[in-house]
Amino acid sequence: MWNAIDVNGNGILSLAEIDKGMRDVIRLPILFDLKPVLMRAYMAAKIKCPSKKGTKKKSYNEDDYVSKKEFRWLLKYLRVYYELWVAFDRIDKDGDKRVSYNEFCMAIPELERWNIDMSDPKAQFKAADKDGGGMILFIEFCDWGIKRNLDLDDDDDDDNDNE
């Protein structure tokens, strides 16, 4: 899979290569179409194994790309951010790619099923709306959801691995 996505064989993946790889190699067109998910996974994965200082300089900054060591992290983050996208999309009822306080409150039952303590919705909204703009953006939702271990109740992960 790595070799098929690293088409130029330089040992690193750019966002463009990953984008194309979703469509042509991994064949998940839904991820190819969800640029915010790809971007978040790419940004998280490319810093997992920072290049060591003092190594031979290259004509590019390796930390701006996903290395082979970071590839498995990229796949994991694609899964994580896709799940967060599904949750975000369910809450964003008007489809404007932002969650208002009203939409957030309407989603309280779902958020509680996803393991979020919603006993104080105003505080949770404020915590999610990091920039204070009055709307929760996808990147803000991701940071907030990850910190709270948001877990969709109807996804395909096996929460009962130990049974």
Least confident residue range of 18-27, 44-53, 84-93, 121-130: 44-53
Checking DSSP bridges between strand 12-13 and strand 66-67, what pairing results, if any?
A: antiparallel
CA–CA separation, 40 and 81 (whole Å)? 7
Task: Output 50 or 109, whichever has higher pLDDT.
Answer: 109
Least confident residue range of 1-15, 56-70, 87-101: 56-70
**What does the pLDDT read at residue 50?**
80
Cβ-count burial 80-100 (b if 16+ within 10 Å, e if not): bbbbbbebbeebbeeeeebbb
- Per DSSP, the residues of 130-157 read TT-SSSEEHHHHHHHHHHTT---TTSSS
Two structure tokens written together for 47 = 């810093």
How do residues 85-98 score in pLDDT, each as one tens digit? 999 999 999 999 99
* Mean pLDDT calculated for residue range 49-62: 60
Task: Output 163 or 39, whichever has higher pLDDT.
Answer: 39
125 band by pLDDT with thresholds 50, 70 and 90: very high
CA–CA separation, 35 and 56 (whole Å)? 33
* Mean pLDDT calculated for residue range 95-112: 97
Is pLDDT above 50 for 163?
no
3-state helix vs strand vs coil in the chain, percent to 5: 55, 5, 40
How do residues 73-87 score in pLDDT, each as one tens digit? 999 999 999 999 999
